[in-house]
Amino acid sequence: MTKQVLEGIKVADFSWFGAGPICAENLGRYGATVVRVESEAHLDGLRSVAPFAMQPCPACEGKCCKECLNAGRVTKTGYNVSGYFNNYNANKYGVTINLSTEMGKEIARKLIAWCDVFITNQTNRMVDRWAFGFDELKKINPNIIAAYQPMQGFDGPHKDFFGFGAVLNAITGYNHLSGFPNRPPMGIGTNYPDYVINPGHTLIAILAALRHRKKTGEGQCVELAQIESVVSTLGPVVMDYNANGNNQIRKGNRLSYASPHGAFRCADIEWEKQPMDRWVAFGIFNDDQWRALVEAMDSPAWASDAKFATFDARKQNEDDLEANITDWTRDKAPHDAMALLQSKGIPAGVVQNARDVHEDEHIKARDYLEYLDHPETGVMAYDGSPFKMSKTPGKLTTPAPTIGQHNEYVCKDLLNMTDDEIAEALIEQALY
């Protein structure tokens, strides 16, 4: 078996929800030993968030019909069946520690002494309450790399504000830029900072700190202020205001340097007796592509109008332009429209839904999705590797832990606690 690039690195994951656990999962994906710390008193909220695994419905002789699904008769219950949670916590050992007890804190200190990397996205107040600040951790483990993800940093007037990706979408400007002109901000439909930006930036910082420690023997503190991490991805917008005084507003799907540019309605379909709208997205960035689009549309009379003859003219008449294009795409299957446009050298793609992505022939051919057999949900698809390396490709090997699944293993095999110590911790409810 190929040795993974992070094999031998030990991680204590004291985070929850998205930004921290996703970062820690990727450390585990590439070989690190990751212990996910939870508390039954304050469960990770993702454990209670849908989608939940389904089970065969006896009324339908083992098959799941839509009526049963809507009635909730085929949904499994409990805190181990959330696809949301499980997808972000594979390749981890799970331990439940009661940090409100002194013995629980002692077990946590043992885990901190054991690990190379500590990670948390808990608030500054929780870090202080647990005495998990960097100065405290260094006393336990002088060479530790401690990564913190406070929403707005360690200091400043908003250091004690807390929130999730939805809040970050708002305060960093993403919501202001998402939607259509003259309409309220609509957001981006998902907590994008939690899933991509902040775990990715934290991962890079931890890897840099590991390299520094390998060269110098020194650990260090990593502060990932989530607000700053997210604002950094809006560089052009921030710089446009800084350089030009231009405060950009929502543009829908339009771009200042392309026309047309957007998602255009195609022929609707019906799936499981429900109507489903379908779309194709494409953009025209130069006159050659415009001529190719006109040819693809069989040179309709409206396309020869002077108000569409140049880029500036098309931008000034973009509403009419998009309406005419929609008349052309409206009766076409999105995949047919995409194939035709691509054959003319126009960048185009179907606006895919979750089912499309899951069944996408390209995704399948590249074996992106990984399948793991969870003890309560059965075999389920997990997100694949965000990047592939030829010598150390990384992979998921174990599903997300059930609550407290590895308490004994972590305490006995990783922390070298005796049977008597483990029994005492259970009696004192330091372990759940």
pLDDT in the model for residue 431? 95
Per-residue pLDDT tens for 188-228?
A: 989 999 999 999 999 999 999 999 999 999 999 999 999 99
Q: How far apart, in whole angstroms, are the C-alpha atoms of residue 314 and residue 322?
A: 10
Q: Nearest Cα to 12, choosing from 87, 103, 117, 84?
A: 117
Please tell me which residue, 61 or 198, carries the higher pLDDT value: 198
Q: What is the average pLDDT score of the chain?
A: 94
pLDDT in the model for residue 199? 97
Query: Do the strands 279-283 and 261-265 form a parallel or antiparallel pair, or are they unpaired?
Result: antiparallel
pLDDT in the model for residue 189? 87
Q: How far apart, in whole angstroms, are the C-alpha atoms of residue 429 and residue 421?
A: 12
Active site amino acids: 194
Residue 72 scores a pLDDT above 70:
no
Residue 62 scores a pLDDT above 80:
no
Q: How far apart, in whole angstroms, are the C-alpha atoms of residue 402 and residue 357?
A: 28
- The confidence band for 73, taking pLDDT boundaries of 50, 70 and 90, is low
| Greatest mean pLDDT among 14-23, 55-64, 380-389 | 14-23
Q: Do you find a cis peptide bond into 142, omega within 30 degrees of 0?
A: no
**CATH 3.40.50.10540 fits domain 10-233+364-427:** yes
Per-residue pLDDT tens for 275-306?
A: 999 999 999 999 999 999 999 999 999 999 99
pLDDT in the model for residue 184? 94
Q: How far apart, in whole angstroms, are the C-alpha atoms of residue 362 and residue 153?
A: 40
pLDDT in the model for residue 68? 63
Residue 308 scores a pLDDT above 90:
yes
**Mean pLDDT, to the nearest integer, of 62-91?**
78
Q: Which CATH superfamily is domain 261-356 in?
A: formyl-coa transferase, domain 3 (3.30.1540.10)
pLDDT in the model for residue 3? 86
DSSP alpha helix (H) spans, 217-258:
226-231, 235-244
- The confidence band for 69, taking pLDDT boundaries of 50, 70 and 90, is low
End-to-end CA gap in the chain? 35
pLDDT in the model for residue 93? 98
pLDDT in the model for residue 53? 83
Sketch the domain layout of the chain as residue ranges.
10-233+364-427, 261-356
With a CB cutoff of 8 Å and minimum separation 6, the contacts of 360 are 352
- Given a contact cutoff of 8 angstroms between Cβ atoms, the answer to whether 414 and 114 are in contact is yes
Per-residue pLDDT tens for 77-119?
A: 899 999 999 999 999 999 999 999 999 999 999 999 999 999 9
Per-residue pLDDT tens for 138-193?
A: 999 999 999 999 999 999 999 999 888 999 999 999 999 999 998 999 999 899 99
Residue 71 scores a pLDDT above 80:
no
- The confidence band for 58, taking pLDDT boundaries of 50, 70 and 90, is low
**Mean pLDDT, to the nearest integer, of 18-38?**
98
pLDDT in the model for residue 137? 98
